[in-house]
Amino acid sequence: MATLRRLREVPRHLLVCEKSNFGHDKSRHRQLVEKHYHNYRVSFLIPECGVLSKELSNLAMETGPYYFVKNLPLYELISPEFINNFVKKGSCYALTYNTNIDEDNTVALLPNGKLILSLDKDTYEETGLQGHPSRYSGRKIMKFIVSIDLVDLSSNLASKKYGRISWSFKEKKPLKFDFLLAWHHTGAEGPTMMTHFASYGIQEHQPKVALSTVVELQCPVLWSEEPQGSPEVSCSGPELLEWLGAVYSGAELNNNPSDFISTYCCPQPSTVVARAYLCTITGFILPEKICLLLEQLRHYFDEPKLAPWVTLSVQGFADSPVSWRENEHGFRKGGEHLYNFVIFSNQDYWLQMAVGADDDCPP
């Protein structure tokens, strides 16, 4: 019965909302975007918009490329060539593909050069590496977290530390994974991901972009000064986020009693816009690309527009070992870690950050 009760419990979620202005010296909008490393879906919604501007359209179409490598040995990510050519010459991202964070071994490479391993108990013991128990293991520790600083590691290739890790990955416990990889860099031309991993059959991919116009869309009324909402005056941030989820899912919002899929309706007060433009990008999307989108959207109101506000929503990979920065991430009953910007014409914005049961509070 206790197990049944736990299954019926609503999973814990945490939503943090804050209000600021892009012009404020202490605005941390860019920092929050840059530190959310592994993103699989980006969506923006613009009310009272029938045609997307050339600048926004180009940015949406140019969020790639990213790469897929099958059965890549983990020791390839600690090789001096990889570290010198990619980790030290830009922002390099990697994430294991088709691995479940609560059950499988998972690996992530962060742009600061940290390699994060989330390992089950048996694998952790077999590698002989130093780490610490997952904070979400419960009474019986089943997962361990190992963090390796690749930049520091490569500074002394003759050290015992490098030799021990290299021996562990090559001989003691050879680990192979399917990886998603992406690299953001500027400067001189050099080796590419395609040439470096050519022997592993690397594939290049572009994110999928879906563009659509929603007609006669009922939208919540928002007031930039009131993120908590005001009865009969404006809706709150959490109400907006729930509504956005319904819009992005293509749910009907008419509260029809005969609809067995959804009886959800738009929060009140609301207004009907003639059309709204919705863009959804799906793939392995870098924070640097999202920063460009956010920058373009904040300048959407540089010329007078009918839109009362625009939104930019970003969802992270549910099975990434980290959410923001190096904060440990788990799945349990829900692996969400996401954020949403609501941008107003006066350059005010709301920033909403949400995580699930096995996560630290968003930064």
Write the pLDDT tens digit of every residue in 169-196: 999 999 999 999 999 987 766 689 999 9
Q: Is the dihedral of CA 286, 291, 292, 293 positive or negative?
A: positive
- Cα–Cα distance for residue pair 244/69, rounded to 1 Å: 34
Q: Are 219 and 272 in contact (CB under 8 A)?
A: yes
Tokens representing 195? 């040439």
Q: Are 243 and 15 in contact (CB under 8 A)?
A: no
Domain ends where: 205, 233, 251? 205
In a domain, 363, yes or no: no
Phi, psi of 11 (to 5 degrees): -60, 145
Pair (45, 34) in one structural domain: yes
Pair (296, 239) in one structural domain: yes
Average pLDDT, the chain: 89
Pair (190, 257) in one structural domain: no
Pair (344, 259) in one structural domain: yes
Q: How many domains does the chain have?
A: 2
Residues in a beta bridge with 312: 44, 341
In a domain, 149, yes or no: yes
- Cα–Cα distance for residue pair 228/241, rounded to 1 Å: 12
Domain ends where: 205, 222, 247? 205
Pair (241, 135) in one structural domain: no
Domain ends where: 177, 205, 233? 205
Pair (14, 130) in one structural domain: no
In a domain, 2, yes or no: no
- Cα–Cα distance for residue pair 315/323, rounded to 1 Å: 10
In a domain, 217, yes or no: yes
Pair (219, 342) in one structural domain: yes
Q: Is the dihedral of CA 109, 110, 113, 114 positive or negative?
A: negative
- Cα–Cα distance for residue pair 30/109, rounded to 1 Å: 20
Sorting pLDDT into bands at 50, 70 and 90, what band is 46? Answer: very high
The pLDDT of residue 157 is 86
Pair (47, 109) in one structural domain: no
Pair (91, 180) in one structural domain: yes
Residue with tokens 């290049």: 204
Determine the structural domain holding residue 100 and report its residue range.
Answer: 66-205
pLDDT tens by residue, 245-276: 999 987 777 666 665 566 778 889 999 999 99
pLDDT tens by residue, 95-142: 999 999 888 999 999 999 999 999 999 999 999 999 999 887 777 888
Q: Are 107 and 150 in contact (CB under 8 A)?
A: no
The pLDDT of residue 123 is 96
Sorting pLDDT into bands at 50, 70 and 90, what band is 362? Answer: confident
Pair (142, 227) in one structural domain: no
